[in-house]
Structure 1
Amino acid sequence: MEVMTAGKREDKAGFCSCGLGKGSWKMSELAACRQAPYWAYLLYALGLFIYQSLDAIDGKQARRTNSCSPLGELFDHGCDSLSTVFMAVGASIAVRLGTHPDWLFFCSFIGMFIFYCAHWQTYVSGVLRFGKVDVTEIQVTLVIVFVLSTFGGATMWDYTIPILEIKLKILPVLGVVGGAIFSCSNYFHVILHGGVGKNGSTIAIAHMTKSELYLQDTVFFGPGLLFLDQYFNNFVDEYIVLWIAMVISSFDMMRYFSALCLQISRHLHLNIFKTSSHQAPEQVQVLPSKSHQNNMD
């Protein structure tokens, strides 16, 4: 049994199809077309606020305990890379952006792209730059969006602004587009003009790895399954293929990060989940002795 609406079709099974010319974009109830419970938005706002607060506090805690290390940076930025996906998808659901699948894909993808470009310019210049309006301000804005959806309902974003004749949900999208253009212009200015020459060209190699990179990587299993399934005209149900790809990708990610963290901790003689009294190797400052200073004089 189906209910027909303008440009959209909803059925009793909890699915929604948004008209896209001759085709359709079919998503489940958890995707973005329907309104989530109010408590879900509230918990998301609370969790995001706690996350961004702890994300800012951990650096001060590391300096206070004298435990700054590349391992801490890996944990910090690794968690940020994962949370970027959940923040983008969660915000899209909160404003019911599923009725515009193209914008849903763009807003979900652009966050990961900006995160990648921010670290790309770090590898080129050796400095991670933050603007006056950056990650923290974006996270606070998302908290406000979730709070508004909690008390006003996600359907409030379908309200049409009288003068502009656009829906309220388009305003956050325009903000995302403007912010992406501004951020990427700054990042690519550093990427294209910074790190030129012998010194700059070696920063990225020394910062990432000097070992050989292999093209046969297990990270391609998930996308490879999706590609083959599309190539053979959905030989296997794409919903099942997505689940298989998710399980393989999750296992591969946990295996990789576990091995990487253990390797770094062994090399730096650090404990992963507890601090020690000694300094991390890169923090130890070697001061010249007095006799050496006298000889230099």
Structure 2
Amino acid sequence: FVTIACCCAAQLGVYPWLMFWSCVLSYFVFYCAHWQTYVSGKLKFGRLDCTEAQFSFITIHLISTISPGFWSNSIPYLQLEYRILVALLTIGSTLWSSFNNIRLVSQGGCGRNFSSVAGTSIIFPGWPIGLLIFLAVVASNYSTSSVLEEHTSLHLLCYGMVFSKITNRLIVGHMSRSPLNGWDSSCIGPLAVCINQYFNLLIDEHVLLWFFLVS
């Protein structure tokens, strides 16, 4: 949700797909950090991590408060808008951090036979996040009502709730050393959106997203 607020402050909504990947990858990197913790038993921070990200968000909000039109300006000689630069830096940093966490996961866990803290497979936590990203991309790309373009923040907020839920389950799994369940009821919303699209929008997507968010 912090990333959505940051994207809105940088007026990134005019580029919905850039905003989409900035938010989804920020959800993913947060999940990967706790995935690595679930495997290794230790929460490890990189050289550029959540503290630096928070200061970046603060800077963006301060700039937006002082000069809201700043983000639509272009960088001299590059002809690249500052808001696009923010998105590219966000995407690049999250990919880099995610790669580092996945690399640590691939080295094996602290459990028996290099398993996770719960004694389970180290790659199994990739299933919930992979499914959710897949559903988010499908719903965004194949929407005939252009739900991502028309209701960008609502769309990302709905999926952000689900990302938060499965990440919290991973955190609890690490703290309690318990195995993860492959299914979570919060995934019903993303599945319902995709099924609704498959049946040619039996329910208005805007209405369905609000129901998805509230429920």
Question: Could you say if the C-alpha distance between residues 120 and 213 of structure 1 is closer, same or farther in structure 2, counting changes exceeding 3 Å?
Answer: closer
Q: Distance in 1 between matches of 2:115 and 2:7?
A: 38
Match of 1:186, as an amino acid? N
The one of 236, 239, 243 equivalent to 2:206 is 239
Could you say which residue in structure 1 is the equivalent of 2:31? Answer: 116
Question: Could you say if the C-alpha distance between residues 209 and 113 of structure 1 is closer, same or farther in structure 2, counting changes exceeding 3 Å?
Answer: same
Cα distance, 1:209 vs structure 2: 5.5
Q: Distance in 2 between matches of 1:105 and 1:165?
A: 22
Q: Distance in 2 between matches of 1:113 and 1:212?
A: 17
For the aligned residues, what is the CA RMSD?
A: 2.2
C-alpha deviations, 1:91-117, integer Å up to 9, x for none?
111111111111010011111100000
C-alpha deviations, 1:3-45, integer Å up to 9, x for none?
xxxxxxxxxxxxxxxxxxxxxxxxxxxxxxxxxxxxxxxxxxx
Question: Could you say if the C-alpha distance between residues 193 and 161 of structure 1 is closer, same or farther in structure 2, counting changes exceeding 3 Å?
Answer: same
Q: Which has the higher strand share?
A: 1
Does 1:102 find its partner at 2:17? yes
Question: Could you say if the C-alpha distance between residues 209 and 132 of structure 1 is closer, same or farther in structure 2, counting changes exceeding 3 Å?
Answer: closer
Stretches of 4+ aligned residues off by more than 3 angstroms: 204-215
Does 1:218 find its partner at 2:185? yes
The one of 85, 88, 113 equivalent to 1:171 is 85
Does 1:143 find its partner at 2:110? no
Match of 1:156, as an amino acid? F
Match of 1:243, as an amino acid? W
Mapped contact 2:40–2:109 kept (Cα < 8 A) = yes
3-state SS in 1 of match to 2:117: helix
Could you say which residue in structure 2 is the equivalent of 1:191? Answer: 105
After TM superposition, the score normalised by the length of structure 2 is 0.67
Match of 1:201, as an amino acid? S
Match of 1:111, as an amino acid? S
Cα distance, 1:182 vs structure 2: 2.2
* Count of residues paired in the alignment: 161
Give structure 1 stretches of 5+ with no counterpart. Answer: 1-85, 249-297
Cα distance, 1:166 vs structure 2: 0.9
Q: Which has the higher helix share?
A: 2
Question: Could you say if the C-alpha distance between residues 232 and 162 of structure 1 is closer, same or farther in structure 2, counting changes exceeding 3 Å?
Answer: same
> Structure 1 vs Structure 2: percent identity of aligned residues?
35
Q: Distance in 2 between matches of 1:220 and 1:169?
A: 31
Alignment of 1:5-154 (within 5 A): 86-153=1-68
Q: Distance in 2 between matches of 1:214 and 1:96?
A: 36
Match of 1:238, as an amino acid? E
Query: Of the two, which has the highest radius of gyration?
Result: 1
Cα distance, 1:140 vs structure 2: 1.1
After TM superposition, the score normalised by the length of structure 1 is 0.50
Cα distance, 1:197 vs structure 2: 7.1
Match of 1:112, as an amino acid? Y
Select between 232-241 and 190-199 the one with higher mean Cα deviation: 190-199
Question: Could you say if the C-alpha distance between residues 190 and 214 of structure 1 is closer, same or farther in structure 2, counting changes exceeding 3 Å?
Answer: closer
